[in-house]
A and B are shown apart, each in its own frame.
Chain A
Amino acid sequence: MSQAQISVGTADSSGLAGAHSGMTTADGTPLKVSLRRAQRRLRLWALLLVLPLLLFILVSFIVPVFNMALRGVEDPLVHETMPNTAAALGDWDGEGLPAEPVFAALVEDLKAGYEDKSIGKVATRLNYEINGMRSVIMGSARQAKRLDHGPYKDALIDINSAWGEPATWRMLKRQSAPYTLTYLLAALDMGYDDAGNIVLQPESQRVYGPLFVRTLVMSATVTLFCILLGYPVAYLLANLPLRTSNLLMILVLLPFWTSLLVRTTTWIVLLQSQGVLNDLLVWMHIVDDQGRIQMIFNKTGTLIAMTHILLPFMILPLYSVMKTVPPSYVRAARSLGANPLVAFWRVYVPQTVSGIGAGSLLVFILSIGYFITPALVGGQSGQMISNMIAYHMQKSLNWGLAGALGVLLLVLVLVFYAIYNKLIGIDKIKMG
């Protein structure tokens, strides 16, 4: 153990050992070898300490998130329920109608699917792709059982003319692969046309693109509000005597520590049309009783509540940076003739840019993924992308689309996380 102690804290111990290459330890091993061994043991110890947590996070968190993301690109339903058709379609080149064996495989799958009632799910799934496919599949499956000999091609087209359309088959071929791009495309407001090309949806049907844009714009707005409100307060706190600023800091930290739901509730109470603020406005005769202002259950309410909730995340990093800014530079600028505004803008603010950056990135990252507050106070116009994911998870049960939207949101957040990590370092986050 005593040899190991030598190397503690020396980052470059090999250089040290190299300079005295002739040295040996008490038991005769060269010092270099002994040191390297000790280093290896210390690395192993460090890893061993981290390992349990790393495994825990991987299993309980990373794997589920990947699993969720995978749902956005996998679509095994058709592949598994209609294995024969999927295999037969593998050789088809997508031109004209497929050959007789494919029709035979389809009939076989339809019969089997009708028997064990699994065909209904396929019908619902394919209906997302081409409207009306549900009845095509269900109708054909019902009648397929009386088709006991070929040729099946004409018989199937006879049952439903959709089987005579190459577009139907191209869609079926696309869907019978175990992986699909359809969800991701849908989440980007894109889809396949009849010829199988990827096209943008007509403008009136675009939902998710505008929603992503709204989410980004709202997050940027919240970030901007936080800078505007946070900067003066952080400046005040950083420049007051410690005793006073510690007291005022409570006013920042108490909201920070108060439950998100409590803070959202308070805004409902304050802003709703029969709420405290409107009552006050009516009492002061600023608006009359009929003209109460709709301040919540819309975008305004979401912006106000989110700014309130995220403001401490801006103030705290700003404050810790401003604490380190020496006052002498601004004084020097003033003494050289700069007026207070110029001295502030050209000398003080540049020294706090790292704080603005840290706070802004943090607020922005947190607000992109906001769910609870928009869901409770957002109404129709204040919904964000998280709410749409929740909708597809719980209401429409289109989990593939939820997964695809999740992938896009995740990529967005991770990009900003990477920027944050690069610029500031994630372990530098200040709390409390």
Chain B
Amino acid sequence: MAALPAYASTLDRIWHYGYRILCGLIFLFLIGPILVIIPLSFNAEPYFTFSREMLSLDPAGYSLRWYEEFFSSSTWLNAIKNSFLIGIASTVLATVLGTLAALGLSRPQMPFRGLIMSILISPMIVPLIISAAGMFFFYSSVNLSQTYLGVVLAHTALGIPFVVITVTATLSGFDQSLTRAAASLGASPSYSFFKVILPLVMPGVVSGALFAFITSFDEVVVVIFLSGVEQRTLPLQMWAGIREQISPTILAVATILVAMSILLLTVLELLRRRSERLRGISG
């Protein structure tokens, strides 16, 4: 796959460049749509396409009006506040419960490992509409629908598989002799957990937590069924906006969300490097 050798035939060359162009097009398909909406969110006109002024880079074609609209609308601001509130609460719950369970699951003595694992992962596999409908009936019957607690519990369940998967994956590469070394040096189990195990699996825990957060932050189906007017989240507001009458404010929100995912991606990448360095895989 490296550079083309000097003896390459014409056919080789055509294939080599053709293949790269094909891959370039697929990358464009992946990333293009996301990049297109960023300039469009600065459109001065209420249209979803590039105006003549925008194409000629005339400053008059650009404006911040959709961002102004977003930041001056109490509905949108309330929605983003709710999203963070629910996201953080369910992430904390999912991370604590999920990490504990992952520690148990990766012990060699764990009984019924396969069965328990597939139960814990099931919220990721069951179609969201079924989870949402089921939670709607059940949470209504215990008076939890249309409450923050209900949405948080639902989102915790949906985020847990990600925590369990990432933390067990980190623990599978964990060298058990380190805890034995700690114990032989006189550390109590809880001391060695906080001083030896936790620092080493921390990257896994944090990336699991990020997955859980983004799952909650991006989730809309369960929110459609469970939330009342008070618990409207950002995705629900977007969903309603797209279905009713799509306004360019949505593009401004979308751009903010893309910026957020870039931030998350950076954090994850830094974590991955740290984790590799800690395990001595080379930096």
Interface residues of A (CB under 8 A from B): 5, 8-9, 11, 39, 42-43, 45-50, 52-54, 56-58, 60-69, 71, 229, 232-233, 236, 239-241, 248, 250-255, 257-270, 272, 274-276, 279, 308, 311-312, 340, 365, 368-372, 375-376, 386, 389-390, 393, 399, 402-403, 406, 409-410, 413-414, 417, 421, 426-427, 429, 431-432
Contact = CB atoms under 8 A, between A and B. Distances in A.
A251 B30 CA distance: 7
A209 B40 CA distance: 42
Contacts of A260: 218, 220
B109 A389 contact: no
A258 B246 CA distance: 19
A274 B50 CA distance: 10
B3 to A, nearest CB: 11
B86 interface: no
B251 interface: yes
Nearest to A43: B109
A371 B265 CA distance: 26
A177 B134 CA distance: 23
A236 B78 CA distance: 44
Given A47-B111, A266-B37, A426-B117, A369 B261 contact: no
Contact of B214 (A48, A257, A261, A266): A257
Given A8-B180, A56-B156, A376 B242 contact: yes
B34 A266 contact: yes
B118 A421 contact: yes
B261 A259 contact: yes
29 contacts: A46-B110, A50-B104, A50-B116, A53-B164, A54-B116, A56-B156, A61-B131, A61-B157, A62-B119, A64-B134, A68-B133, A232-B22, A232-B23, A251-B27, A254-B31, A254-B265, A261-B239, A261-B254, A265-B254, A266-B254, A276-B49, A276-B50, A369-B129, A371-B129, A372-B221, A406-B129, A410-B127, A413-B127, A426-B117
Given A8-B180, A57-B119, A69-B134, 7 more contacts: A5-B184, A54-B120, A266-B34, A371-B127, A406-B134, A427-B165, A431-B162
Contact of A275 (B49, B121, B156): B49
5 shortest A-B CB distances, which residue pairs? A369-B127, A49-B104, A68-B134, A239-B1, A64-B134
B198 interface: no
Contacts of B26: 229, 232-233
Contact of A389 (B1, B111, B133, B154): B133
Given A61-B122, A64-B131, A68-B134, A258 B34 contact: yes
A58 B102 CA distance: 17
Contacts of A399: 137
Interface SS of B by simple majority: helix
Contacts of A257: 214, 261, 264-265
A57 B120 contact: yes
A197 to B, nearest CB: 31
Given A233-B27, A368-B127, A406-B130, A56 B261 contact: no
A236 B1 contact: yes
Given A57-B123, A239-B1, A258-B258, A308 B218 contact: no
Contacts of A253: 265
A371 B100 contact: no
Contacts of B67: none
Interface in B116-170: 116-123, 125-131, 133-139, 153-154, 156-157, 160, 162, 164-166, 168-169
A279 to B, nearest CB: 5
Contacts of A413: 125-127
Contacts of B133: 68, 389, 393, 402-403, 406
Interface of B: 1-2, 15, 19-20, 22-23, 26-27, 29-31, 33-34, 36-37, 40, 47-50, 97-98, 100-101, 103-105, 107-111, 114, 116-123, 125-131, 133-139, 153-154, 156-157, 160, 162, 164-166, 168-169, 176, 180, 183-184, 207, 211, 214, 217-218, 220-221, 225, 235, 238-239, 242-243, 246, 250-251, 254, 257-258, 261-262, 264-265, 268, 272
Which one of A43, A57, A372, A406 has the greatest number of beta carbons of chain B within 10 Å? A57
Which one of B120, B153, B168 has the greatest number of beta carbons of chain A within 10 Å? B120
Contact of A372 (B104, B130, B220): B220
Nearest to A272: B48
Contacts of B214: 257
A265 B235 CA distance: 11
B188 to A, nearest CB: 9
A342 to B, nearest CB: 14
Contacts of B180: 5, 8-9
Contact of B31 (A47, A251, A409): A251
B189 to A, nearest CB: 9
B218 A65 contact: no
B268 A432 contact: yes
Nearest to A8: B180
A386 B268 CA distance: 32
Contact of A46 (B34, B36, B107): B107
A69 B139 CA distance: 15
B107 A427 contact: no
Nearest to A229: B26
A274 B30 contact: no
A426 B121 contact: yes
A137 B118 CA distance: 48
B73 to A, nearest CB: 17
Given A64-B137, A254-B265, A261-B238, A54 B130 contact: no
A393 B136 contact: yes
B27 A46 contact: no
Contact of B261 (A258, A272, A340): A258
Nearest to B208: A431
B276 to A, nearest CB: 12
A9 B183 CA distance: 14
B220 A50 contact: no
B129 A386 contact: yes
A427 B108 contact: no
A47 B104 contact: yes
Contacts of B111: 43, 46-47
Contacts of A43: 109-111
A53 B265 contact: no
Contacts of A365: 125
B254 A262 contact: yes
Given A263-B34, A431-B166, A68 B137 contact: yes
